[in-house]
């Protein structure tokens, strides 16, 4: 598997802009408190995802799992920088509110990471799929809630993609989890 580093020509990972709503395309650049809250939570959550998958890449030898979590790593790294940028766009009050959220959910991810670190070699794949699966299920639920609560079109579009991709990842991980183990 060859990993290509991101080059400048790839450009920012922005989705096609949703058509302007009757309430005004100004929503594109002004994130409401709900949007900021979602972005803050997703930033923290995504940072945890990256920790989990990087630890997973250190520990698992299964080629299918490695392919999946490596793809999660690069896609979520891009999403993370997008979301941080949108929080910056939302201004200093938003960033202050986001900073207050950095502690949210940490205990859940920390416990999962500890389990993954401590898992014996024969258990790594099972624990990784379990921890990452639970983590991505949470992201899907948060994104789903955002779809009815959010106001910014671009944040909602991101939430749609998060909901879809994490749900699909959970399904894929469930399939990988039932495959015959390919242990070292």
Partner 1 sequence: MRRRIITVPLLSAGVVAATLAVATPAQAHGYVSSPPSRQALCAQNKVPDCGQIKYEPQSVEGPKGLRSCHAGLAQFAVLNDDSRNWPATSVGSTVTFTWINTARHATSNWEYWIGNTRVAVVDGGGRQPDATVSHTVNLGGFSGRQKLLAVWNIADTANAFYSCVDLQIGGGGGNPTPSPTPTTPAPSPTVSPTSSPAPGGTWTAGRAYQVGDQVTYNGLTYRCRQAHTALPGWEPPNVPALWLQI
Query: What is the rounded CA–CA span in Å between residue 98 and residue 37?
Result: 7
Q: Toward partner 1, which CB reaches closer, 8 or 120?
A: 8
Spell out where the chain has E strands: none
Query: What is the rounded CA–CA span in Å between residue 119 and residue 127?
Result: 7
Q: Minimum CB separation from partner 1 for residue 79, in Å?
A: 9
CA quadruple 128, 105, 150, 146: dihedral sign: positive
Q: Minimum CB separation from partner 1 for residue 96, in Å?
A: 8
Structure tokens given for 15:
């989705």
Q: Toward partner 1, which CB reaches closer, 113 or 149?
A: 149
Q: Toward partner 1, which CB reaches closer, 56 or 166?
A: 166
Structure tokens given for 140:
């899907």
Q: Minimum CB separation from partner 1 for residue 122, in Å?
A: 25
Task: Give me the residues that bind partner 1 (CB under 8 A), please.
Answer: 1-4, 6, 9-11, 13, 15-16, 18, 30, 32-34, 36-37, 41, 67-68, 70-71, 74-75, 77-78, 93-94, 96-97, 99-105, 107-108, 138, 141-142, 144-145, 147-151, 156-157, 160-169, 172
The torsion angles phi and psi of 179, rounded to 5 degrees, stand at -70, 155
Q: Toward partner 1, which CB reaches closer, 28 or 78?
A: 78
Collect all residues with Cβ–Cβ distance below 8 Å to 28 and sequence separation of at least 6.
17, 152, 153, 154
Q: Minimum CB separation from partner 1 for residue 74, in Å?
A: 4
């Amino acid at each position: 598997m060859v990993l290509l580093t991101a080059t400048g020509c790839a450009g920012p990972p922005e989705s096609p802009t949703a058509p302007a709503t009757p309430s005004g395309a100004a929503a594109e650049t002004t994130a409401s408190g709900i949007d900021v809250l979602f972005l803050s939570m997703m930033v923290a959550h995504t940072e945890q995802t990256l920790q989990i998958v990087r630890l997973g890449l250190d520990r698992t030898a299964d080629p299918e799992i490695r392919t999946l979590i490596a793809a999660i790593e690069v896609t979520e790294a891009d999403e993370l920088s997008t979301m941080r940028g949108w929080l910056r766009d939302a201004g200093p009050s938003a960033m202050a509110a986001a900073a207050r959220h950095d502690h949210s959910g940490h205990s859940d991810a920390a416990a999962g990471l500890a389990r993954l670190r401590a898992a014996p070699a024969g258990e790594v794949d099972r624990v990784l799929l379990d921890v990452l699966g639970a983590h991505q299920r949470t992201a899907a639920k948060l994104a789903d809630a955002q779809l009815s609560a959010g106001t910014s079109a671009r944040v909602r579009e991101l939430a749609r993609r998060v909901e879809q991709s994490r749900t699909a990842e959970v399904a894929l991980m469930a399939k990988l989890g039932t495959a015959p183990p390919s242990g070292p």
